[in-house]
Structure 1
Amino acid sequence: MGGALSDIAKRVSETRFTLQTEDFADGRELHRQLSSELTDYLLPRINRTQTPFMIAVGGSTGAGKSTLVNSLVGRTVSPAGVRRPTTGNPIVVHNPADTKFFESQSFLSDLPRSTDPTTSTPSVVLVPNDDVEPGTAVLDCPDIDSIAESNRELARRILMSADLWMFVTTANRYADAAPWALLRDAAVRNTSVAIVLDRVPPEANREVRHHLSSLLSESGLANSPIFAVAELELAEGLLPHSAIYPIRSWINQVSSEAQSQERIRQRTLTGSIGAMPAQVKSLADYAESQESTFDDLQLSLDQTFNAASEGLAEIFSDGRVLHGEVNARWQDFVGTGQLFRGLEPTMARMRDRISAAVTGKHDAASPLHIAILRSAAISLREQAIGVVDEISAQWLRNPAGSALLDAHPELRQSANDLEDAVKSAVSGWSNEVNALVRDIGQGKKSKARILSFGVGGVCAVVEYAAFWDPKYTYADDHASRNDANVALSLAGTIFGEQEAVNLIGSIRDRFLTTAAGILGDCRMPFDNVLRLSAVPARQAGVLRASGDRLEVAL
């Protein structure tokens, strides 16, 4: 059984709640509770660590816990007063013989030790007292309904690490919801509980005790003893000896009778272990929600960016980049439309016209080149912004994704730096085109033709042709088809037909690679955020398996 519990502790420690799903808060709370119960209570006892018998005194704000503890000890060891909350740290009243155990960090190991009950530093306050039986400790808990969440969590943690609860409530607050949520947990774990009903008016004693008894029976705690403390004047902050004598006698009896103490200890331990498989399975359900949500976010990211990447070839090959200003500059480049009206079968005449255009006073190649780069950059930026907006919209429909977007505003601000990145990428591609044309121009075959047209003009022609592919061009876009055919014919005349096809294909592929790089840069912040929020694979499965092993061992 010890091995099964150790395995559960390992699996629980490996479980992560990184995504703010709808059940995130409940899952994280259960995870915290199980972690502390295993570390603070179950593992030390199942591994047979010699631990004192711990009696936790818990209850609501102002119920009189600290006053009761002080009165039982016979002196002020725990702050009590009108200021709320008065107890922020656990006060451990123990026999000096047990000091070594509590100083050794065996109890609440993550908290430092102190001997000052008034300290505001989170710590375990140790108060040695000779009147406490050796092997027994009384723990004064913070308020279970404290306004400070850390106090509430610590109170529950201490109660879950104790062998016996002494729950303090008052005649007018015993039916409050907060105590009963914890008391029902105690019933599930078979934790032994004693109820101290404080400040009970004599005339209401019978009625209140009867009603409280019925509530305890309904919650599975019918055998819990009830101690009533009348509403009395305090003497130097302490209750009269006669008022607490029944409680002190009962504690002394439990503390001094090893058989009784062991019975209570074993009952609580067995109940806690028996409740563990169901709690682990509940935690596995929450963990599975984390896994499925993470998978959904990852899938939407993959599908959206993959679809965008796959669509790049169509976007930058169907001629849409050549519309508008590019088309107007192309018409100007080839002779303001005259070329199409008087096109002669020989390409020499066409070459002469374009050569005149690029070598005369009117340089039509440079405006065309600029228009192509501008149109390509605009289209690329639109695609990048579009895919970021799409994935953001999908994540917004998911509570966890929406929380990630809120926590990482850079995900929505990727367009801020996109303008310069796109310009730089397109400019780099254009420089590659220029280098390719110049490199080919070193050969005798194409050198004269390239010089005749001018390097700028040739670059404009092949760039224009690169954004048109018959596989993607719209069937009814005859004008673009004709213009692109002219560009292809010109490139064939300059370089030779096959070399032109190869060159234009290479230029197109290089631009698509550039475009894919921009999309990859846009995706990177999303990948980084998911990596930081990664959920361990199969954490739900290993939790269920560890819970099943303990269930079999029981």
Structure 2
Amino acid sequence: MTDRTTEVLDTFAAHLRALELPLPVDGAEQARAETGAALSQLDDHVIPRLESLDAPLLVVIGGSTGAGKSTLVNALVGHPVSRSGAIRPTTRRPVLLHHPAEEPWFAGTRILPGLARVHAGRGRDPEAPGAGDTTGDVDPATSLALHGEERIPQGLALLDAPDIDSVAAGNRELARQLLRAADLWLFVTTANRYADAVPWEVLRTAAERDVTVDVVMNRIPPLEGVAEELAEDLRGMLARQGIEVERLFLVPETELDDEGMLPPAAITELHGHLEALAADGEARRRIVRRTLAGALDGLVVSAREIAEHAAAQDAARQQLRDQAVTAFSGARDRIDDALGDGSLLRGEVLARWQDVVGTGEFFRGVETLVTRARDRIGQALSGKPAPAVAAEQALGTGLVHVVIDETARGAERADAAWRATPAGRHLAEGSDLARLPDGYAEEVSAEIRAWQGDVLELVRAEGADRRTRARLLSLGVNAVGVALMVVVFASTAFLPTGLEVGAGAATAVVGQKLLETIFGDEAVRRMAATARESLTTRLDTLVAGRSGPFLDRLAALGEPGAAAQLAADAEALAQLAHDIREDG
């Protein structure tokens, strides 16, 4: 096996093991099962077979309940090695028969690494012929019984699998796992059950994966012409289903001896075929490569289907992200609307601002405005907060309320959108994502106070010039800072058209004129832009923090992108299957 082949298979296996399909979208459960089956196929058959193309051909004997698989195996060996009988299921632990010289191929974990090895004759085997009933008909077997038998020719091994239609679900899945590990499938049915639905479902799967299949029809009534008639009917059914069978063996209904053994003559043709196959290295290699390429084709289909499910997971994840982002971006927009429409400059804020400067006579002239403002600021009495401080507090309180209210609404909308879908409900389960986290109000208050501190520092820095320092000191840093906050609150682009209407607009105009008198037009615009940018950054942080519980749950799902990886794996596997056929 080349390094490239190793890399293709190892990469695909790594992608499957890393794949997470956590959201309950349509088909997720099916995709998880398909992922497990693909990994099983890689570990049980594809990788070990590519690593050891010269290993003995593994012939898995499968079929329906009561078809006589174990009896057939015992006849091929010449003595009882696999339990047969009326109690179902009889094959509780799969049995692998090999030539003693070829035990190293099977004693380790080269194939079927998930099954522990039990060696015949080394301790009592509770699943051996004649052993008492166990819980095997409830729990699937977790081990593989190895039997070294001189009558098994070197070059092939026989594996007696549980019934594909077993009453025990675990045994049914184990049977399918073993069939996926087969190089050659020897399917056993009977004259009166060869049309049953379950075996044909498994046969169709084998045909889709181009598995080499031989069929044994067992217990054919020993009447003239019956064997030929049944054989023709079965071949017709196989042809109509598009199932290609290498050989069809007919075994007549025969009386068993005291040990439950068939007479050797009943399986002469089958025994001779297996002997010839063991001796023909080229025929074995042809079967190995055909089945291996077919298994890779099956993995291509699986990789593409799993990729589609991974894409569906990514789409559901993106939808949930979009819902959360939209809900909180809407909250952020509504906060900006409240800042820009003057609604924050009414009520308590307006009253406190008018304590700082009057608005009724400011059109009489800029100097009058400054004088009135200085006079009002100077009227602060002992025991009362300065008018500018009260106005600053009112502005801050109003903004805190807006931020809390709008982020709460955003969280409620995001939570409602998530709970409208199964995927969203799965992520939101166990938490009230719409609830304000403890300490959030204090966090908002601290951020707004910090911004107001930024504004005051900005005013001090701009007023350091000697030309402006006197006026700034005569009015006070807090009063001028409040004026700048008022301007920022009123507009995202300074004073928009139409802002001159309404009490809030008039308040903003007063603040603007006051600032222009002290600093000049250009400086005021620069200061307002800087203050607004600082406020925007802090508001963005607050809103983003509130969306955190939603986005954190999405982040915990892992990184998207598995769909693209698996699609690329499918192409690489398809090329590998093509190369194996070409080499053959």
TM-score bracket relative to the smaller structure: 0.7 to 0.9
The answer (yes or no) to whether the contact 2:344–2:489 under 8 Å persists in 1 is no
Aligned position for 1:515: 539
TM-score by length of 2: 0.73
Q: 1:510 to 1:190 in 2, by over 3 A?
A: closer
Structure 1 residue 437 and structure 2 residue 456: aligned?
A: yes
1:109 and 1:319 mapped to 2: Cα distance? Answer: 66
- Match of residue 241 from structure 1: 262
Partner SS for 1:506: helix
Of 325, 347, 365 in structure 2, the residue corresponding to residue 328 of structure 1 is 347
2:180 corresponds to which letter in structure 1? M
* Alpha-carbon distance between aligned partners in 2 of 1:80 and 1:458, rounded to the nearest angstrom: 100
Q: Secondary structure at the match of 2:541?
A: helix
Q: 1:390 to 1:8 in 2, by over 3 A?
A: farther
Matched, 1:102 2:125: no
- Contact map agreement 1:335 1:354 (CA 8 A) in 2: no
Provide the aligned C-alpha RMSD in A: 4.7
Question: Do the aligned residues in 2 keep the contact of 1:94 with 1:128 (CA within 8 Å)?
Answer: yes
Partner of 1:174: 194
Spell out, residue by residue over 1:250-306, the C-alpha distance to the aligned partner (whole angstroms, 9 max, x if none).
453234335665465334324324536754553454355357546646765787788
Pair 1:144 & 2:146 matched: no
Amino acid at match of 2:145: V
- Supply the distance in 2 between the matched residues of 1:374 and 1:87 (Cα, whole angstroms): 78
Matching of residue 540 in structure 1 with residue 560 in structure 2: no
Equivalent pairs counted in the alignment come to 545
SS in 2 for 1:18: coil
Q: Given the alignment of the two structures, is residue 352 of structure 1 paired with residue 349 of structure 2, yes or no?
A: no
Cα distance change, pair 313–64 in 1 and its aligned pair in 2 (3 A)? same
Secondary structure in structure 2 of the residue aligned to 1:106: coil
Q: Which amino acid aligns with 1:241?
A: L
Shift of 1:218: 2.4
Amino acid at match of 1:352: D
Say yes or no: does 1:275 pair with 2:297.
no
CA distance in 2, matches of 1:182, 1:372: 75
Could you tell me which of 125, 147, 150 is aligned with 2:145? 125
For the 8 Å contact 2:323–2:418, the answer to whether it is kept is no
Corresponding residue for 2:558?
A: 531
Range 203-212 or range 30-39, more displaced: 203-212
Task: Provide the C-alpha distance between the structure 1 equivalents of 2:63 and 2:379, rounded to a whole number of angstroms.
Answer: 96
CA offsets 1:218-250 (integer angstroms, 9 cap, x no match): 233455424456497895xx53433x7523x44
SS class of match (1:195): strand
Return the letter of the residue paired with 2:80: R
> Taking structure 1 as reference, are residues 306 and 45 closer, same or farther at Cα in structure 2, changes over 3 Å only?
closer
User: Equivalent pairs: percent with the same residue?
Assistant: 24
State the Cα distance separating 1:168 from its structure 2 match. Answer: 3.3
SS at match of 2:375: helix
Q: Which residue of 461, 481, 498 corresponds with 2:505?
A: 481
Task: Identify the residue that residue 467 of structure 1 maps to in structure 2.
Answer: 489
Question: Matches of 2:408 and 2:170 in 1, distance apart?
Answer: 43
Q: Which whole-Å CA distance do the structure 2 matches of 1:425 and 1:234 have between them?
A: 89
Q: Does 2:223 match 1:186?
A: no
Q: Is residue 64–residue 164 contact of structure 2 (8 Å, CA) maintained in 1?
A: yes
Amino acid at match of 1:431: A
**Aligned-residue offset at 1:104:** 2.3
Contact 1:254 1:260 in 2 (8 A): no
* Residue 217 (structure 1) aligned with residue 244 (structure 2): no
Q: Displacement, 1:540?
A: 1.7
CA distance in 1, matches of 2:570, 2:310: 13
Query: Contact 1:58–1:159 at 8 Å: present in 2 too?
Result: yes
Do the aligned partners of residues 436 and 213 (structure 1) sit closer, same or farther apart at CA in structure 2, a change above 3 Å counting?
A: same
CA gap of 1:255–1:549, structure 2 versus 1, over 3 A, is closer
Pairing partner for 2:20 from 11, 18, 21? 18
Please point out which of 427, 430, 437 is paired with 1:408.
427
Kindly report which structure 2 residues correspond to 1:253-292, keeping only aligned pairs within 5 A, or say none.
253-258=272-277, 262=281, 265-275=284-294, 278-279=297-298, 281-283=300-302, 285-286=304-305, 289=308, 292=311
Cα displacement (A) at 1:424: 0.7
> 1:506 maps to which residue?
530
Q: Which amino acid aligns with 1:18?
A: E
Q: Could you tell me how far 1:412 is from its partner in structure 2? A: 7.5
Is the contact between residue 294 and residue 534 of structure 1 (CA under 8 Å) also seen in structure 2? no
One-letter amino acid of the counterpart of residue 540, structure 1: A
Aligned to 1:93: 97
Q: Does the CA-based 8 Å contact 1:144-1:156 persist in structure 2?
A: yes
Q: Which moved more, 1:299-308 or 1:93-102?
A: 299-308
Residue deviations 1:183-223 (CA, integer Å, cap 9, x gap)? 12333455443434567777997676664443233233455
SS at match of 1:334: helix
* Cα pair 2:15 2:565 within 8 Å, conserved: no
Alignment of 1:386-405 (within 5 A): 404-405=423-424
The alpha-carbon deviation at position 548 of structure 1 amounts to 3.8
How big is the shift at 1:56? 1.0
Q: Given residue 269 of structure 1, which amino acid in structure 2 is its aligned partner?
A: V
Q: Report the alpha carbon displacement of residue 333 of structure 1 after superposing the two structures with TM.
A: 0.7
CA distance in 2, matches of 1:371, 1:231: 102
SS at match of 2:178: helix
**For the residues of structure 2 that align with 1:472 and 1:368, how far apart are their CA atoms?**
20
CA contact (8 A) 2:95 2:145 kept: yes
SS in 2 for 1:144: coil
Amino acid at match of 1:547: A
Deviates more, 1:280-289 or 1:504-513: 280-289
Structure 1's unaligned 5+ residue stretches are: none
Superposition TM-score, scaled by structure 1 size: 0.77
Q: In the alignment, which of 72, 75, 83 is matched to residue 80 of structure 2?
A: 75
Change in Cα spacing, 1:9 to 1:287, as seen in structure 2 (3 Å) is same
Amino acid corresponding to residue 75 of structure 1 in structure 2? P
Alpha-carbon distance in 1 for matches of 2:206, 2:332: 65
State the one-letter code of the partner of 2:162. Answer: P
Q: Deviations over 1:97-117 (max 9, x none)?
A: 222221122222344323445
Partner of 2:446: 427
Between the aligned partners of 1:3 and 1:483, the Cα distance in structure 2 is: 77
* In structure 2, distance between residues paired with 1:354 and 1:141: 96
